[in-house]
Chains A and B, each alone.
Chain A
Amino acid sequence: MSFADYVASRWQELLVDAAQHASAVIQCTLIAAVLGVALGVAVHRSPAGSAVATALTSAVLTIPSFALLGLLIPVLGLGVAPTVTALVLYALLPIVRNTIVGLAGVDPAVLDAARGIGMSRAGVLTRVQLRLAWPAVLTGMRVSTQLLMGIAAIAAYVKGPGLGNVIFSGLSRVGSANAINLALAGTIGVVIVALVLDGAYVLLGRLTISRGVA
């Protein structure tokens, strides 16, 4: 069967796998964004805290994803738990780093002005600082999403959802007619999902970055 015929005949299943892949990556990026922005906000005032948070999260990023996933099996078993844990951990670095950089880049004069017109500390944070740092945070999320695409494919080894399963079933059917079609469909599928989500980030940036910032 040619690749085109194969995709045409398995269109529905591939679409489900692609949707699950995208959904796992998006949800984990969102969890990492909440945690990462909170961490960034907590440490951004202290240079030492910022350095430690950046050093720790960047060391995590160095760890081979297959080793981390493997290490999580004895602790969390198979399925959703190890997948989500690993994906969230890997997504943290770009978001934490960019939150810290974004918050540090806010002009102190703007903060003075905000306090001067009587805004509370929380008000300054949510209505001034985070809005000005948002473009940087969003860039961090975009980098994280691209990073998670490939790691999510490996997570199929621990029975995670998504297109990795298509690749692995290609591997397990080595020698059969459809093995290459499966691996090719899984690989190209990940690339397509990655490109679509990357486009979505550009759109999201247009819609959510306040006009005064950009």
Chain B
Amino acid sequence: MTTTNPRAERIRLFAQPVVVLVGLAAVLGVIASGPLDDIEQRNINVSTILGLTWQHLLLSVAVTAIVVLVGVPLGVVLTRRWARPAAPFVLVLANIGQAAPAIGLLVLFFLVTGATGFWIAALPIALYALLPVLRNTIVGIQQVDPSLVEAGRGIGMSASAVLRRIELPLAVPLILAGLRTSLVLAVGTATLAFFVAGGGLGVLIDTGDKLGRYSVLVTGAVLAMALALLVDWLGALAERYLAPRGLR
């Protein structure tokens, strides 16, 4: 998650992927080199692990896509002059929504729809991860210096040109920070998807716990941690290198 301490960010940018990959290799190496019984072999093998990791990533990507496709346009609409009075209400609602536990949203969505699977997990997780992007889009556009908007209008830009060429580019750093937070929320919450048969690495954690095979549990937990820390690292890279050049 974003830290506001630039030096801490730099440490994480360099140390995080190294520590994660070394730690992951060490843990998986120890587990794979030990004697594994039938149940362990059925759960700890390359195809199962890659399959569940892929599912986990796919869930996170789907959630992030929904969050960006809904959060940014909604944020833009709420900063237009005619919709501005509604913005505080939407933010209060979103804040209350954020206070709802992710596991509750998942379970409720599953019980109400009576269905299971990928989208039954992805939709409530997306709802849960929406707030950071929505809030940062609104705040990012609101903090654009009004005189810049005036200047844009003054040189004959249309309202949509001002939005595309002034407001949005200036809001990009904050939107990216919100996106990083959303990404981390998405990857973390995706470990809960197995509760509604949505797959992901939570499956290994739960299987290991239910069958009393801690090697399976630890494999799943360590993979989920590594994935979250790596995705967060990618978010940090994006925050650093995708912002418009003049703002870095």
Residue ranges of A at the interface with B (Cβ–Cβ < 8 Å): 47-48, 50-52, 54-55, 58-59, 61-68, 70-71, 73-74, 93, 97, 100-101, 146, 149-150, 153-154, 163-164, 167-168, 170-171, 174, 179-180, 183-184, 186-188, 190-191, 194-195
Q: How far is the CA of A50 from the CA of B7 in the complex (A)?
A: 9
Q: A63-B225, A68-B221 are in contact. List 18 more A-B contacts (CB 8 A).
A: A51-B10, A55-B15, A62-B184, A64-B189, A67-B188, A70-B217, A71-B225, A73-B214, A74-B217, A74-B218, A154-B102, A164-B101, A171-B111, A179-B111, A180-B111, A180-B112, A190-B101, A194-B99
Number of residues in B with C-beta < 8 Å to the partner? 50
CB-based contact B229/A67 at 8 Å: no
CB neighbours of A68 from chain B (8 A): 221, 225
CB neighbours of B99 from chain A (8 A): 146, 149-150, 190-191, 194-195
Q: How far is the CA of A59 from the CA of B233 in the complex (A)?
A: 10
> Of the candidates B3, B104, B188, B208, which one forms a contact with A54 in the assembled complex, judged by CB atoms under 8 Å apart?
B3
CB-based contact B104/A58 at 8 Å: no
CB-based contact A183/B111 at 8 Å: yes
CB-based contact A73/B209 at 8 Å: yes
CB-based contact A58/B225 at 8 Å: no
- Interface residue? B58 (CB, 8 A): no
* Contact code string B37-80 (vs A, CB < 8 Å = 1, else 0): 00000000000000000000000000000000000000000000
* Contact code string B96-136 (vs A, CB < 8 Å = 1, else 0): 10011111110110111000000000000000000000000
What are 30 pairs between A and B in contact, CB < 8 Å?
A50-B8, A51-B10, A55-B3, A55-B15, A58-B2, A59-B12, A59-B232, A62-B229, A63-B225, A64-B189, A64-B191, A67-B188, A67-B201, A67-B205, A67-B220, A67-B228, A68-B221, A70-B209, A101-B4, A149-B99, A153-B101, A163-B101, A167-B103, A171-B107, A171-B110, A174-B110, A179-B111, A184-B108, A187-B100, A187-B104
CB-based contact B5/A64 at 8 Å: no
CB-based contact B205/A70 at 8 Å: yes
- Interface residue? B175 (CB, 8 A): no
Q: How far is the CA of A171 from the CA of B104 in the complex (A)?
A: 9
* Chain B facing A: main interface SS: helix
CB neighbours of B177 from chain A (8 A): none
CB neighbours of A70 from chain B (8 A): 205, 208-209, 217, 220-221
> Of the candidates B100, B188, B195, B209, which one forms a contact with A190 in the assembled complex, judged by CB atoms under 8 Å apart?
B100
> Of the candidates A174, A180, A187, which one forms a contact with B101 in the assembled complex, judged by CB atoms under 8 Å apart?
A187
CB-based contact A153/B103 at 8 Å: yes
CB-based contact A55/B8 at 8 Å: yes
CB-based contact A97/B228 at 8 Å: no
Task: For residue B197, give the distance in angstroms from its CB to the closest CB of chain A.
Answer: 11
Q: How far is the CA of A59 from the CA of B2 in the complex (A)?
A: 10
Select the residue from B7, B15, B104, B229 with max chain A CB neighbours within 10 A.
B104
CB-based contact A64/B224 at 8 Å: yes
CB neighbours of A50 from chain B (8 A): 5, 7-8
Q: Which residue of A lies closest to B9 (CB)?
A: A55
Q: Which residue of B lies closest to A64 (CB)?
A: B188
CB-based contact A55/B100 at 8 Å: no
CB neighbours of A52 from chain B (8 A): 8, 11
CB-based contact A59/B229 at 8 Å: yes
CB-based contact A59/B16 at 8 Å: yes
CB neighbours of B96 from chain A (8 A): 191, 195
Known contacts: A68-B221, A74-B217. The answer to whether A97 contacts B4 by CB under 8 A is: yes
Q: How far is the CA of A154 from the CA of B189 in the complex (A)?
A: 10
Q: How far is the CA of A192 from the CA of B188 in the complex (A)?
A: 24
Q: How far is the CA of A6 from the CA of B9 in the complex (A)?
A: 49
Select the residue from B11, B111, B189, B195 with max chain A CB neighbours within 10 A.
B111
